[in-house]
């Protein structure tokens, strides 16, 4: 065990979606810094470590980013093995790239460990394949909440032909709806709004682009939630299966 | 242990990127059907299972899809616990959605287990964050190889403002290059071409959109490989860090 900072994806919530590498990092850790969106159940893999909660939910900066970074640096410089646990994957809306660069510039060894991102896990748990031959050629993950509040390029997103997964969008449903409608996306495009992806408390609200705001209000949708927008969110009908798949029982 | 088919993502290659849930599925399995792109090292978790190789690389249909499906069905109907191991994630270019639907229509219980997809793991191992505040607002995963060979919507993909990750693109580099250039993507857009993502044999070739074909040829790039196209592939410079991050040491 040498001084090092692991930036580890703890996955979407289900503790079984942790990777073996994340478990190894936790076992080696002397200090574990845990984000708000991480399921504390994963701490069973590091019973002897010092655990520090560094939650920082969107908008509410209870633990400032600069403080978290200095804390990681201080512990690493004292020769400790530090694990920073982030919800999902550290490099998908997780600031892992920035933190890794900054730590490396301070001379600290850094290792990143991928995790299952919430949009993927939530969709899978709802039976939604993010890609589907003949229906969706790919998937786009975007965040509705940004540093400078610059608008997303809705036209590009609507026309790319991929399933759209929006993170941190609960407070911006109307903006998303208007942006995609104005960009030419069909009003009846299926939408799945998934709260607490992969946890026992997961809830899903199926809707359509044109009425997703009112449906979400009636459903009392709350953060954290992901939105899956595209034909795949309408259910996979047998009709879309290609002949080879459909004929397998023939 | 009851009759059931698990459709399991084995991750990108590094056996440590398997999830705990995938390990549990393997431990319960009586029959394991393994795809070409799965690292056989993960079979250490199912020493007693019957292992069937059902490789089917793009184009070369050594094991037809319909045969694989019938095989899963037959074993499940005989009361066995079957694990179908797929590279990466079963629902990202993995046909997991189709196979799950078909099996459910035959009355078989199905459970999907997410895995780390190769594009994410390859980028992370190269130090490329797929999203980066101020640089990339999201990420789009697409496959260059499709069922009907219909062209991708390059304009939407080029203008969406997200990092582009292209799977199965080695044989179509010229088509990708021309499509993105014609759609207005800058000729000097950084590109990382990553072979054997997350394995000890991983190799990366850094290039630019305009010359990625010639660079790939000189590098002798071979499948399986992923392409990461966008500013993040050019390296994360300190200059892009936001003030809060950059000032953490102040």
Best residue in B129, B134, B143 to probe A by mutation, most A CBs within 10 Å?
B129
Higher-pLDDT residue of B65, B190: B190
For chain A, say whether B147 makes contact (Cβ under 8 Å).
yes
Judge whether A168 counts as a catalytic residue: yes
Q: Is the dihedral of CA A245, B99, A165, B35 positive or negative?
A: negative
Q: How far is it, in rounded angstroms, from Cα B97 to Cα A128?
A: 7
pLDDT band at B248 (very low <50, low <70, confident <90, very high): low
User: A43 burial class (0-12, 13-18, 19+ CB within 10 angstroms)?
Assistant: middle
Chain A residues in contact with B127 (beta carbon < 8 A): 100
Query: Quick check: bond before B165 cis, omega within 30?
Result: no
Q: How far is it, in rounded angstroms, from Cα B175 to Cα A216?
A: 41
Q: How far is it, in rounded angstroms, from Cα A202 to Cα A228?
A: 14
**Cβ proximity of B97 and A129 under 8 Å:** yes
Residues 174-203 of A with CB under 8 A from B: none
pLDDT in tens, B129-176: 999 988 898 999 999 876 666 778 899 999 888 999 999 999 999 999
Would you identify the CATH topology of the domain A4-113? Cobalt-precorrin-4 Transmethylase; domain 1 (3.40.1010)
Contact B91 A124 (CB under 8 A): yes
Query: Quick check: bond before A196 cis, omega within 30?
Result: no
Catalogue the active-site residues of B: 35, 56, 168
Residue in the structure block whose two tokens are 């009636």: A218
Of A121, A141, A156, Cβ closest to residue B161: A156
Q: How far is it, in rounded angstroms, from Cα A191 to Cα A21?
A: 34
List Cβ neighbours of A52 (8 Å cut-off, separation of 6 or more): A31, A32, A33, A34, A71
pLDDT, residue A55, reads: 78
Contact B162 A143 (CB under 8 A): no
Task: Give the mean model confidence (pLDDT) for residues B74-95.
Answer: 96
Best residue in B114, B179, B180, B244 to probe A by mutation, most A CBs within 10 Å?
B114
**Residue A103 C-beta-side C-alpha neighbours within 13 Å:** 30
Sequence length of chain A is: 250
For chain B, say whether A116 makes contact (Cβ under 8 Å).
yes
Would you identify the CATH topology of the domain A118-234? 3.30.950
For chain B, say whether A34 makes contact (Cβ under 8 Å).
no
Instruction: Give the ipTM.
Output: 0.93
Highest mean pLDDT (candidates A78-92, B50-64, B234-248): A78-92
**Residue A214 C-beta-side C-alpha neighbours within 13 Å:** 4
For chain A, say whether B148 makes contact (Cβ under 8 Å).
yes
The DSSP annotation for B52-77 comes to EE----TT--SS-HHHHHHHHHHHHH
Contact A17 B21 (CB under 8 A): yes
Task: Give the mean model confidence (pLDDT) for residues B22-35.
Answer: 97
Q: How far is it, in rounded angstroms, from Cα A222 to Cα B195?
A: 40
Radius of gyration of chain B from its Cα atoms, rounded to whole angstroms: 20
For chain A, say whether B239 makes contact (Cβ under 8 Å).
no
User: How is chain B split into domains, by residue range?
Assistant: 4-113, 118-234
Chain A residues in contact with B131 (beta carbon < 8 A): 91-93, 97, 141, 143
Q: Considering only alpha carbons, which residue of chain B is nearest residue A118?
A: B114
Query: In B144-223, which ranges are E strands?
Result: 163-167, 190-195, 203-208
List Cβ neighbours of B23 (8 Å cut-off, separation of 6 or more): A20, B45
Least confident piece of the model among A113-122, B19-28, B47-56: B47-56
Q: What is the DSSP letter of B150?
A: P
- The Cα of B213 is separated from the nearest Cα of chain A by a number of Å equal to 23
Residues 47-76 of A with CB under 8 A from B: 64-67, 69-70, 73
Q: Considering only alpha carbons, which residue of chain A is nearest residue B95?
A: A132
Helix (H) or strand (E) holding A191: strand A190-195
Q: What percent of chain B has pLDDT over 90?
A: 78
Work out the mean pLDDT of chain B and round it to a whole number. 91
Higher-pLDDT residue of A133, B86: B86
Task: Give the mean model confidence (pLDDT) for residues B15-19.
Answer: 98
Nearest residue to A126 via CA among A19, A228, A231, A230? A228
User: B1 burial class (0-12, 13-18, 19+ CB within 10 angstroms)?
Assistant: exposed
Catalytic residue among A4, A14, A33, A168: A168
For chain B, say whether A11 makes contact (Cβ under 8 Å).
yes
Contact A66 B132 (CB under 8 A): no
Q: How far is it, in rounded angstroms, from Cα A92 to Cα B183?
A: 26
**Cβ proximity of B32 and B52 under 8 Å:** yes
Query: In B93-224, which ranges are E strands?
Result: 110-113, 138-143, 163-167, 190-195, 203-208
pLDDT, residue B111, reads: 97
Q: Return the bridge partners of A40, or none.
A: none
Residues 117-146 of B with CB under 8 A from A: 120-121, 123-124, 127-134, 137-143, 146
For chain B, say whether A87 makes contact (Cβ under 8 Å).
no
Residue contacts between A and B (CB atoms, under 8 Å):
240
Which regions in chain A score pLDDT beneath 70? 1-2, 56-62, 146-149, 236-250
For chain A, say whether B160 makes contact (Cβ under 8 Å).
yes
Q: Considering only alpha carbons, which residue of chain A is nearest residue B15?
A: A20
- The Cα of A122 is separated from the nearest Cα of chain B by a number of Å equal to 10
Of A14, A91, A140, Cβ closest to residue B124: A91
pLDDT band at B241 (very low <50, low <70, confident <90, very high): low
**Cβ proximity of B197 and B226 under 8 Å:** yes
Q: Is the dihedral of CA A209, A210, A211, A217 positive or negative?
A: positive
Q: Three-state DSSP class for A9?
A: strand
């Amino acid at each position: 065990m040498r001084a090092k900072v692991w930036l580890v994806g703890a996955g979407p919530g289900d503790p079984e979606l942790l990777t073996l590498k994340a478990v190894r990092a936790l076992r080696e850790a002397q200090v574990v810094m845990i984000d708000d969106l991480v399921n504390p159940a994963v701490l069973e893999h590091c019973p002897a470590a010092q655990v520090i909660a560094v939650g920082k939910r969107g908008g509410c900066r209870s633990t400032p980013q600069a403080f978290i970074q200095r804390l990681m640096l201080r512990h690493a410089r004292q020769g400790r093995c530090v694990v920073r646990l982030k919800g999902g994957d550290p490099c998908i809306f997780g600031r892992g790239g920035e933190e890794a660069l900054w730590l490396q510039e301070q001379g600290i060894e850094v290792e990143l460990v991928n995790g299952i991102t919430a949009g993927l896990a939530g969709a899978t748990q709802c039976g939604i394949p993010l890609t589907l031959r003949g229906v969706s050629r790919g998937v786009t993950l975007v965040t509705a909440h940004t540093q400078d509040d610059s608008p997303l390029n809705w036209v590009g997103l609507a026309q790319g032909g991929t399933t759209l997964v929006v993170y941190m969008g609960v407070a911006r449903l109307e903006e998303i709806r208007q942006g995609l409608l104005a960009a030419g996306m069909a009003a009846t495009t299926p939408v799945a709004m998934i709260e607490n992806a992969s946890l026992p408390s997961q809830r899903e609200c199926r809707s359509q682009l044109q009425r997703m705001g009112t449906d979400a209000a009636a459903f009392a949708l709350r953060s954290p939630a992901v939105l899956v927008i595209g034909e795949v969110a309408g259910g996979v009908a047998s009709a879309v299966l290609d002949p080879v798949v459909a004929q397998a029982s023939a």
